[in-house]
């Protein structure tokens, strides 16, 4: 018995790297998988249907069930057809893994509008497009008395949660995906749908293009444990997709190599209040803000970057 027996999953961007590892392991644990991939380059150019077909063949060779889909997640109707492919082929949909993405790195002062738009369109719009159509299906199932036990798993990155120079487009998209996921968890829980994120790592095509003399391999080609295997995040996706994770929603897990942790969302730090001499609430004096933050929050009397630059 697999953890996902009887379930049907969509994995977008499943032709290579992280998404490929997730699709294969979901199938290994019993899920029937729609392998979605356009077969584009890292920057989103070109298309090759054979990429998705190859992953389907890998899954079938391991005893699993899968079908390829070549629609674009960035297209609203294309995303609708991805969901339709799962329902028409396998009769249902239980798991949506959003992993499709492109990369166009540049410093913001050199970035063209089309480079920003392309990344936002695939990552942010792509995630919303598929969630939009899948959530409509699950809501209708719930209203018909067939309450789902469904899972959305979206892919995020430290570029969005911690920041990374030259990736203002990619980071903005990934931060937006994390926010969308939290909101989806609030909106869809009544319909039996949980929504979480996974922050993966490893030697993917995206990483490989920034490194010289490295071999980018498919996840199933690693014979022993390797921290750089992009398939190392797949176990967390399998668990989040399973009914074992029912109590968990609105969370961001990071799984890189053999490391597992949970990201903490934005939190409010120590709170300060403006008051007059009698202790009555009053509006802040701008001149007091730096003094209060410097002394009580940053614990410094450093005059700041401008004064340092004038030295």
257, part of any domain: yes
2, part of any domain: no
Residue 118 contacts residue 31 (beta carbons within 8 Å): no
Residue 60: alpha-carbon gap to chain centroid? 26
CATH number at residue 69: 3.40.50.720
In this structure, the answer to whether residues 149 and 191 fall within a common structural domain is yes
Q: How many domains does the chain have?
A: 2
Which residue of the set 74, 135, 157, 233 is catalytic? 157
What residues are paired with 154 via a beta bridge?
98, 197
In this structure, the answer to whether residues 307 and 169 fall within a common structural domain is no
Compute CA distances 311 → 173, 291, 301, 302, 303, whole Å.
38, 22, 17, 14, 12
In this structure, the answer to whether residues 238 and 307 fall within a common structural domain is no
In this structure, the answer to whether residues 157 and 280 fall within a common structural domain is no
Which residue of the set 7, 74, 137, 170 is catalytic? 170
In this structure, the answer to whether residues 123 and 231 fall within a common structural domain is yes
169, part of any domain: yes
84 is catalytic: no
In this structure, the answer to whether residues 92 and 176 fall within a common structural domain is yes
In this structure, the answer to whether residues 158 and 277 fall within a common structural domain is no
In this structure, the answer to whether residues 229 and 276 fall within a common structural domain is no
61, part of any domain: yes
Which distant-in-sequence residues (6+ apart) come within 8 Å of 55 by Cβ? 14, 15, 20, 23, 24, 35, 37, 66, 68
In this structure, the answer to whether residues 128 and 251 fall within a common structural domain is yes
Which residue of the set 174, 233, 242, 245 is catalytic? 174
208, part of any domain: yes
pLDDT of residue 297: 83
110, part of any domain: yes
In this structure, the answer to whether residues 278 and 227 fall within a common structural domain is no
**Among 257, 259, 260, which residue's Cα sits nearest to residue 201?**
257
304, part of any domain: yes
174 is catalytic: yes
3, part of any domain: no
pLDDT along the chain (311 residues), means of 10: 95 95 97 94 80 97 98 97 98 98 94 97 97 98 98 94 92 97 98 97 68 75 86 96 97 94 90 94 93 84 51 42
In this structure, the answer to whether residues 207 and 95 fall within a common structural domain is yes
In this structure, the answer to whether residues 141 and 181 fall within a common structural domain is yes
CA distance 67 to 90: 9
246 is catalytic: no
Domain range holding 122? Answer: 8-262
pLDDT of residue 303: 52
Classify residue 244 as exposed, middle or buried by CB count within 10 Å of its CB (0-12, 13-18, 19+). Answer: exposed
């Amino acid at each position: 018995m697999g953890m996902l027996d009887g379930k049907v999953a969509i994995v977008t961007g499943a032709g290579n790297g992280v998404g490929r590892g997730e699709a294969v392991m979901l199938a290994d644990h019993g899920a029937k998988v729609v392998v979605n991939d356009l077969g584009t380059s890292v920057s989103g150019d070109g298309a090759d249907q054979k990429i998705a077909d190859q992953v389907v063949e890998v899954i079938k060779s391991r005893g699993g069930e899968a079908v390829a889909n070549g629609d674009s997640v960035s297209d609203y109707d294309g995303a609708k057809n991805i969901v339709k492919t799962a329902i028409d082929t396998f009769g249902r949909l239980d798991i949506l893994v959003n992993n499709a993405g492109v990369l166009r790195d540049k410093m913001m002062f050199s970035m063209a509008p089309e480079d920003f738009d392309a990344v936002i369109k695939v990552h942010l719009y792509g995630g919303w497009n598929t969630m939009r159509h899948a959530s409509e299906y699950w809501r209708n199932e719930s209203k018909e008395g067939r309450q789902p036990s469904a899972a959305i798993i979206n892919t995020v990155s430290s570029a969005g949660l911690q920041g990374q120079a030259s990736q203002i487009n990619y980071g903005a998209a990934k931060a937006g995906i994390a926010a969308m996921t939290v909101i989806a968890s609030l909106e869809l829980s009544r319909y039996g749908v949980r929504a979480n994120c996974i922050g993966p790592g490893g030697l993917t095509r995206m990483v490989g293009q920034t490194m010289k003399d490295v071999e980018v391999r498919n996840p199933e080609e690693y014979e022993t444990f390797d921290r750089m295997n992009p398939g190392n995040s797949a176990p967390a996706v399998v668990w989040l997709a399973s009914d074992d994770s029912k109590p968990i929603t609105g969370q961001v897990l990071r799984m890189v190599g053999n490391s597992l942790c949970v990201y903490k969302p934005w939190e409010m730090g120590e709170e300060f209040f403006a008051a007059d001499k009698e202790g009555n609430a009053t509006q802040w004096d701008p001149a007091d803000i730096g003094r209060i933050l410097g002394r009580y929050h940053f614990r410094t009397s450093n005059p700041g970057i401008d004064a340092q630059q004038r030295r």
